[in-house]
Chains A and B, each alone.
Chain A
Amino acid sequence: MQVITANRLLDGEVVWLGLNDEWVESVSDARVFDGKEAVAEGWALGTAAEKDQKVVSVYEMAVIEEDGQLVPVRLREKIRAAGPTTHPELGKQAQAVSA
């Protein structure tokens, strides 16, 4: 299972491509692209958003489902999805707690 990720142009926030071409701030809201053709479609949407000044640095990454939630496979992407492991009070993980 793949999702498309990027950083938002204006503030650099880590985002994933969600439903309805929205860029979402939580990996669990990302749209899953399964299979080669689907991923190609995701890429096309991502590249278009890059052209549109919405995001930068678009790429695909692997996720798995754990307890009904999408979770990145690689550590790098886990850290991107949460925030610095050294600062639990910063980044997305902080919002998750306060929400």
Chain B
Amino acid sequence: MYRYDEFDHGFVSQRTEQFKDQVRRRMAGELSEDEFKPLRLMNGLYLQLHAYMLRVAIPYGTLNGRQMRKLAHIARTYDKGYGHFTTRQNIQFNWPKLEDTPAILEELAEVEMHAIQTSGNCIRNVTADHFAGAAADEIADPRPYAEILRQWSSLHPEFSFLPRKFKIAITGAPHDRAAVQVHDIGLQLTRNEAGEVGFTVFVGGGLGRTPMIGRKVRDFLPEEDLLAYSEAILRVYNLYGRRDNKYKARIKILVHKTGLEELKSDIEAEFERIRHGVLRLPEEEVRRIEAYFAPPPLEVLPETSTRVEARRASDPAFAHFLKHNLNPHRVSGHTSVTLSMKPIGGIPGDASDDQMDKIAELAERFGHDEIRISHEQNVILPHVKLDDLSALYDEAAVAGFAEGNSGLITDIIACPGMDYCALATARSIPVAQRISERFGTPERQAEIGELKIKISGCINACGHHHVGHIGILGLEKKGEEFYQVTLGGSANENASIGEIVGRGFSSEEVVDAIEKLVDTYLDLRTNGDETFLDAYRRVGEQPFKEALYGTG
């Protein structure tokens, strides 16, 4: 399991002390808001519509019961009893007081957590596949590499003032669950013919105003070159990335403008220069960091559990949960369980203090004290014995996070939108809630099958709408909320950016529009196995357009 080494402990407490003093000076009038704002942002503290918001990092979405209990405690003591898991595998508290934030950061530091690198034009927290260390299809656990990248990038003097924020994601399996192709750098673990572990490298992916799928710059980068190659990419970006216009400052624009081949050769040239230097990653170092993430000892057990199978046959809700919320584990007799933070009609990604305590307890009792937060805003217990599923499910059901909807139409990603966010042009959460209610019966969801709806409340695309099978972007038109719908996006290994289907919809119309799209799909699919995305890719947008706007 990941733990801070001593360097980090010292560093985090030093930062907390510093911030405490900065808050004191702000309150005493020694710092103006202009001076203070960059400092608070560096510590994850934003000002939203109703209050301050504190964004706490959960590196690679990995935490344990003790840490989750601390988050529950913070929600209860300093906030209004809940927190919000984000698409960046972070948690946001929506109501902290400025004067309380130093105390919150101190409490977080007690459990090796912090709010550093959740904001600003730096290399943000590295995100990883939420089934890391557990998935049957995994080549290697991506988190040790994410941690190595984190240690390298934390406070890297050269990269603290980049042209713009910079996001890295890494996935350990051929099936990309970390959306690596929509990050500035995307890394996919792979093996070469000799069986050695390395990375396929993508550069220049990103969402926001100008969505782009990352371009592949390397089929196979050897493990030892991870840092040198990343540094080469960052240096080229730091040198050529635009600083005069923040909408053109992300590396994706550079890839687009400079052209892939030229950029690739710049990166390779820089890489050649530094690859044999201090950044070469020694094998022992990788193995040392890997030890932090050592999996719990898991006993090899029969592939099926008679207890579970008996109940599956007689309990439809449980059967539904088993069908959708489990991911195959590399150790027989175990599974990774998705606890759904998407109750029907609920707020995607919100968890109450009591729910967080319960998650901690369940992780300790049934999951070797390991918890993951997914970028899809759900909570995962990665290592659960099949035999424990029944008991786990019952407790999760009482606590309100056992909806068997993972990957289904009600498993919606939604950003906070205009209910909280100062940048929003429309609300996201209420749209998600209404869609969830419309399609919420188990039969209807199961009939529709895999369908990812993603909603953002403005062009910044925190809700990843461009890569939703159905994406919804909330805008403002003549003072009213207005929703633009895109089709055909995807964030997995076959990533694509969704296409705008036509004119947008008012808040009243948008859920009906989604239903028309879904009904059109159900009518035209070849069979129950053809997903919405497959069908869309087969037939194109025409039938969907007609359903929405008629043939005229």
Contact = CB atoms under 8 A, between A and B. Distances in A.
Interface string B341-352: 000000100000
A38 interface: no
B479 A56 contact: no
A37 B229 CA distance: 59
B50 A86 contact: no
A56 B33 contact: yes
A71 B259 CA distance: 51
B418 interface: yes
B50 A12 contact: yes
A9 B33 CA distance: 9
Given A9-B98, A10-B97, A11-B99, A84 B420 contact: yes
Interface stretch (A16-24, A26-34, A73-81): A73-81
A75 B28 CA distance: 35
A60 interface: no
B429 interface: yes
A12 B418 contact: no
Contacts of B28: 53
A57 B33 CA distance: 9
Interface string B8-40: 000000000000000000111100110000000
B26 A53 contact: yes
Interface string B472-510: 000010011100000000000000000000000000000
B353 to A, nearest CB: 14
Contact of A83 (B33, B50, B347): B50
Interface string B58-97: 0000000000000000000000100000000000000111
Given A12-B97, A76-B418, A76-B424, A56 B47 contact: yes
Contacts of A12: 47-48, 50-52, 95-98
Contacts of B52: 11-12
Residue among A50, A51, A75, A85 with the highest chain B CB neighbour number at 10 A? A75
A86 B430 contact: yes
A90 B39 CA distance: 29
Nearest to A58: B33
B479 A7 contact: no
A84 B97 contact: no
A84 B96 CA distance: 15
Interface in A46-99: 50-53, 56-57, 73-76, 79-80, 83-87, 90-91
A62 B427 CA distance: 20
Residue among A11, A12, A14, A83 with the highest chain B CB neighbour number at 10 A? A12
B16 to A, nearest CB: 19
25 contacts: A7-B51, A9-B26, A10-B27, A10-B98, A11-B97, A12-B51, A12-B95, A12-B97, A12-B98, A13-B51, A14-B49, A14-B50, A52-B29, A56-B33, A56-B47, A57-B47, A73-B479, A75-B418, A75-B476, A75-B479, A79-B419, A79-B427, A84-B420, A86-B429, A91-B50
Interface of B: 26-29, 32-33, 47-52, 80, 95-99, 347, 418-420, 424, 427, 429-430, 433, 476, 479-481
